[in-house]
Amino acid sequence: MKFKVMAAVAACAGLLLAGCSGPPPQEQASPTATSTTEPKIVPDVTGKTFTQARDALGAAGIAWKTVGTDGAAFGDLPPDSTLVLRTEPEAGGEIERGSAVLHLKSTRAEADAARAAVLRSLRYEFRCSPTGNAITAEDNQVFHSVKAIWAAPAFKKLQSCDLYVDGTWHHDEFELEPDEAAVVKQIGAGGGDISLPSSA
């Protein structure tokens, strides 16, 4: 009996050395990931503003790019009110991947100029107080031009104003715009004090 057990063990060991006790398992190929992108229908946004078109494409799950009438892509977001002339693909067309192209009634240069004009209109911040020194007052009213100060209902009550230029106090140094530098030069030519040009 002992010899039979030993023989069985020896036979089993031989099978293990030969490649285990059964037929070699067959290799199974790993499943290939296949992406099935459902085509999306481009909504009709011609004649709408950029903001409306952007929202409509977003709701449809479609990415977008913007191109001006000069064929150049916009570097930043176009102005919200810029009108859409057409889309690529056209309205009703299908898009599986990539971005729809919004052709806008503007150019990148025009958009940059409009953005610069908005920033320039906010460059000067006059903080005016109806009760005391605007530098220390806590009831300041904010204006962005002298004309706006003159037109303010509380103009006659304003006792003092302090000025910040592009976020910098006017007594501190900041970089002058070309037209500002020209004014400072003119003041200097007339004998004015331009020792601190930013406050001139």
Question: 86-122, pLDDT tens digit by residue?
Answer: 999 999 999 988 899 999 999 999 988 988 898 899 9
**pLDDT tens column, 120-137:** 999 999 999 999 899 999
> Structure pTM?
0.56
DSSP state of 156: G
Contact 51, 64 (CB under 8 A): no
- The pLDDT of 76-92, averaged and rounded, is 93
Higher pLDDT: 23 or 151? It is: 151
Residue 61's nearest CA partner among 89, 34, 99, 93 is: 99
Run of H or E residues at 115: helix 108-121
Instruction: Tell me: pLDDT of 193 over 80.
Output: no
Going along 44-105, which residue ranges are E strands?
63-67, 84-88, 94-95, 99-104
Architecture of domain 40-113: 2-Layer Sandwich (3.30)
Q: Strands (DSSP E) along 39-134, which ranges?
A: 40-41, 63-67, 84-88, 94-95, 99-104, 124-129
Going by pLDDT thresholds of 50, 70 and 90, the confidence category of residue 199 is low
For residues 10 and 70, the model is more confident at 70
Question: For residue 200, what pLDDT band results from cuts at 50, 70 and 90?
Answer: low
Ordered by start, the domain boundaries in the chain are: 40-113, 122-191
Instruction: Tell me the average pLDDT of the chain.
Output: 81
Predicted confidence at residue 101, as pLDDT, reads 96
pLDDT at 11 over 50: no
- For the cut 50, the answer to whether the pLDDT of residue 15 exceeds it is no
The predicted structure's pLDDT at residue 128: 96
Q: Look at residue 4 in the predicted model and tell me its pLDDT.
A: 38
| 8 Å CB contact between 164 and 170 | yes
pLDDT at residue 20 tops 70: no
